[in-house]
Structure 1
Amino acid sequence: MERKVDKELDKLTEKLLKDFSRETPSVDFTTKVMARLEVSSETPVISYSPLISKKTWAVLAVVITSIFVYLIFGNIQIEDSWAISKIAYLWPEVNTLVLPSFKISNAFLYGIVGFTIFAGIQFFLLKNHFDKRFALH
C-alpha cells in the first residue's frame, strides 16, 4: 500500500516539475561566485597581545616594591613566624639584614600558595589554548 502511495507521489511531483522551466545560470555566474569566495577567504590579521599589559606589570611592580619598602623601613612590631625562620635557616645572610619580624597566618600562607599554584596552571592552560588557536598550519 505504501508503494502505491509513493508511486502516486512520484508521478505527481514529476507532473509539477514538468510545468516549471529549468533555470540556467548567467554567463558570468562562475566569476561572480569566485569573486565572493576570494573576498570571504581573507583571514584577519591577528596581532600578539600579552595577557598582562605593561601598565599592569608596572602597577604590580610599584605595589610590591612599596610593600617591601614599608616592611624594611617601617616601624612594624610583629611576631616571628615559622616562614621567616625557615628562610633564615636556608639563607643565613637574611639575619644580618635589618628586617622587621612579621607573622604570616597559616590560612594566608596556604591561600597564597594555592593561588600561585592555580594561577600557574591557568597560565599554562591559556597558553596552550591560544597556541593551538593561532597556530599556523
Structure 2
Amino acid sequence: MPFPLEEIYIEETENVMSVKFPPDFKSRMLKSNGGELVTDDFAFELHPFFDKSDKKRISRTCNHIALETENAREWFGFPKDGVAIGSDAYGNIILLKHRGDGILSDEIHFWNHETGETFKIAETILALDMS
C-alpha cells in the first residue's frame, strides 16, 4: 500500500542519481510513493523513492527508483539515459529520460525487455495516473 512521502527523500534520490525529476512526477509521488499505475493498455507497479523514516517504510521501499534503475542499466538494450520508474509482471519497464541537462523529461516511455524497443506512452505521469 503506497503512502505519502516527504520531499527530502526525492531530493536524496536526485542527489544520488544526479538528476531532477519532473514536477508532475514528484507531485504524484509525494501523495502516493509507489503503487499501481493501471490504464486500459498497461498495468505497472511504480517504484517508490527510498524512504528511510522508519523500519516499515525502509522495508516497503527497498525496490526504490535508484536501485531499480541501476539494475535495469545492466540489461541489454535498456536506454543509457533512462530512469526506471516502474515495471510490469513481464519484465517491461516504464521510464523517464534525460533531457540532456540533468533534468528528466515529463514524458513516460515503455521499454520492452524482449525487443529492447522504447517508445513514448504518455506526455506526463498525469495522463496515465487514474488514482
Larger Rg: 1
Q: Same fold (TM over 0.5)?
A: no
Question: Would you tell me which structure has more strand in proportion to its own residues?
Answer: 2
TM-score, structure 2 length as denominator?
0.24
TM-score, structure 1 length as denominator?
0.23
